[in-house]
Chain A
Amino acid sequence: MGFLDLENIQKKFATSTAVENFNLSVERGEFVSFLGPSGCGKTTTLRMIAGFELPTAGIIRLEGVDISNRPPNKRNVGMVFQSYALFPNMTVADNIAFGLQVSGKSKEQKSKRVEEMLRLIHLPQLGARYPYQLSGGQQQRVALARALAIQPQVLLLDEPLSALDAKIRVSLRHEIRSIQQHLGITTIYVTHDQEEAMSLSDRIVVMSEGRMEQVGTPFEIYNFPRTQFVASFVGTLNQLQARVLDPAGGKLELEGQTVHIAKAIDKMAGETVAVALRPEMIGLDDGGEEQLSGTVEDSTFLGSIVRTRLRLRDSVISFDVFNNPNLSLPRRDDKITVKFPRDAVLILQSSGAIHAGTE
């Protein structure tokens, strides 16, 4: 049992199922992201942890205590919203002190904690300002301080950076992570931005249509996507259809060419499987023992790398090579052969639901 456990969580609305079969065990101090497109159920799941929605079925446990049906104000979770949701009638200091005030803390305790929080978010001199006098990034940092001031057991963040511009987004992202690590607070972070999820998380839950597609470290999710959905949502993998020639020997037919993969394939000979080919493992001359030939569609110079798109027969794959002044770049309509190691090819499952016990 973990620090925060979600067991068989299901949420149905009048006409649709928002979340089903959700199982997750979060360790104390862990940073977990729910990643997926809008409507995938990530925010609904977060709101069930916060208590704003009640699960149709399933149990939520926090430190072993069943909190599934507790109202949100009895859960001791901190929440940060996309729209900041600072109280416009209160100063920054009063906003941060609100939760402490509600729980009846003394004046000294409040001002001490507020000062501590303002220092934590690097805005020590702004306590007397009103929210409308702050920039978006500052407002969101205050919202973070307000959520943390009550020393919640879990911190929940619902797309906290989506309303900010790109530069602030990146710097605030680092700040959130460093504060989280400094306090060691268990955190659930909802986002549709894979880069955000990758750079912040200890683990990522990739979700689609109310189901968990894959749970793993950013490294695992990026390098070993289990399903077509994960492969297409995370990163820039080339996805292709292949026919199994020899399951035991890992032999596939890919667009009329034969390739071998590192592992045995869990399919019958003649079946079609979805495979992913990692672009950064494909090389022009010395990539590995496997190879594919095709016609260059185009080659784009991107500074440090050169991205080339290669037409095989029906589909196009893209691959990157590092820029090198001594290199002669492939040109349009060139016939070339690219090389890659056997473990650059991944077999993908067609879809969805993670079966109980696989995690």
Chain B
Amino acid sequence: MKSAKLRRVSWLSWIVIVVGAIYFLAPLVGTFEYSLTALRDQYSFAAYERAFADPRFVQSFGYSMLLALATIVCSILLIVPTAYWVHLYVPQIRPLVEGITLLPFVVPAIVLVFGFIKIYSRPLEIMNIPLVPPLLSTIESTNIVLIAGYTVLSLPYMYRAVDNGLRAIDVRRLTEAAQSLGAGWGTILFRIILPNLRTALLSGALLTFAIVVGELTLATFLGIPAFGPYLQQLGQHKAYEPAALAIVSFLLTWVALVLISIVTRGNAGSAAGSH
């Protein structure tokens, strides 16, 4: 009786898993299958060969990966000290900070990018004295604006991950222990807090990476030759290559994520730090 009930429950969960898997995998499988049909009446990798032959693919994908890494570094440097400070000294404003980090979900990227264009197309000036030249006038300084924008888009994921990580360790005691041993703020952040947030930072970084590599809106409107705009342009002219590249970029993103997790493993023991 009881086991029959259990069996029914486990069947139900299997059905949910299968439906979920189909929902996620079917588009991938479909795209993959389609990408193989570039030649009539046979499966081939012709679309892949043609896509790889275009140097703009490697360039734009590499560019987006660099942007993603820069975003992750900026995001960590911005969020870890902030979240740490909030935890230690002003825990009562945590809801406020959390609310601010959720803004990218409320304000669409298109609004953000038009704001950027409006502000940074002109020199920043106070009382008609120009202080900063227009950042969007050169491609180098436009990158700064783009990375800043990506950092904003990564806020909800990164902040949440770091906040959870900080909650899992006794931040206050560890800080005090380090202080009593003579450590200053820099040492505490880089030798105690960051290493203990490794797992949290990793998950935040993975999400940030995925967002940035696939991002279209900011890159398009700021005119940056990133992977998103390239894929979109390609889609307007070609049929099979975008499908092939979608699959390739999917795989490359996974490879990059695995690489990040291997590189950040560093000293093996810290992974098991929280028992």
Contact = CB atoms under 8 A, between A and B. Distances in A.
Interface of A: 50-52, 71-79, 81, 83, 85-89, 91, 98-99, 102-103, 130, 132, 143, 146-147, 150, 156
B181 interface: yes
Contacts of B178: 87, 98
Given A81-B176, A87-B192, 7 more contacts: A51-B179, A73-B180, A81-B177, A89-B192, A91-B269, A102-B182, A147-B181
Contact of A52 (B176, B182, B192, B196): B176
B270 A77 contact: no
B270 A71 contact: no
Interface of B: 169-170, 173-174, 176-184, 187, 191-192, 195-196, 198, 267, 269-270, 272-275
Contacts, number: 83
Contacts of B181: 73, 78, 98-99, 102, 146-147, 150
B183 A89 contact: no
A211 to B, nearest CB: 26
A78 B180 CA distance: 6
Contacts of A86: 177
B180 A89 contact: no
A130 B273 contact: yes
Contacts of B270: 88-89
A89 to B, nearest CB: 4
Given A85-B174, A87-B174, A50 B273 contact: no
Nearest to B177: A85
A89 B173 contact: no
A22 B270 CA distance: 43
Contact of A147 (B179, B180, B269): B180
Given A88-B274, A89-B192, A72 B173 contact: no
B180 A132 contact: no
A79 B187 contact: no
Nearest to B183: A102
Nearest to B273: A88
B195 A50 contact: no
Contact of A72 (B180, B192, B269): B180
Contacts of A146: 177, 181
A76 B183 CA distance: 11
B191 to A, nearest CB: 8
A71 B174 contact: no
A50 B274 CA distance: 27
Contacts of B169: 88
A79 B192 CA distance: 17
Contacts of A89: 192, 195-196, 198, 267, 269-270, 273
Contacts of A143: 177
B16 to A, nearest CB: 35
Contact of B182 (A81, A83, A88, A150): A150
A98 B183 contact: yes
B184 to A, nearest CB: 6
A92 to B, nearest CB: 11
Nearest to B168: A88
Contacts of B198: 89
Contacts of B267: 89
Given A85-B177, A89-B270, A130-B272, A73 B182 contact: yes
19 contacts: A50-B180, A77-B180, A79-B177, A79-B180, A85-B170, A85-B173, A87-B177, A88-B169, A88-B273, A89-B195, A89-B269, A89-B270, A102-B182, A102-B187, A130-B269, A130-B272, A132-B275, A146-B181, A150-B181
A81 B173 CA distance: 8
A146 B183 CA distance: 13
Closest A-B pairs by Cβ, 5 of them: A99-B181, A88-B273, A89-B195, A79-B180, A85-B173
Nearest to B269: A130
Contacts of A147: 180-181
Nearest to B266: A89
Contacts of A88: 169, 196, 270, 273-274
A72 to B, nearest CB: 4
Contacts of B275: 132
A130 B196 CA distance: 13
B25 to A, nearest CB: 38
Q: Which of A51, A72, A77, A143 has the most CB of B within 10 A?
A: A72
A130 B272 CA distance: 9
Contact of A132 (B174, B177, B187, B272): B272
Nearest to A103: B182
A73 B183 contact: yes
Nearest to B274: A88
A132 B273 contact: yes
A99 B269 CA distance: 20
Contacts of B191: 87, 98
Contacts of B176: 50, 52, 72, 79, 81, 85
Contacts of A150: 181-182
A72 B184 CA distance: 9
A123 B267 CA distance: 23
Nearest to A81: B173
Nearest to A104: B182
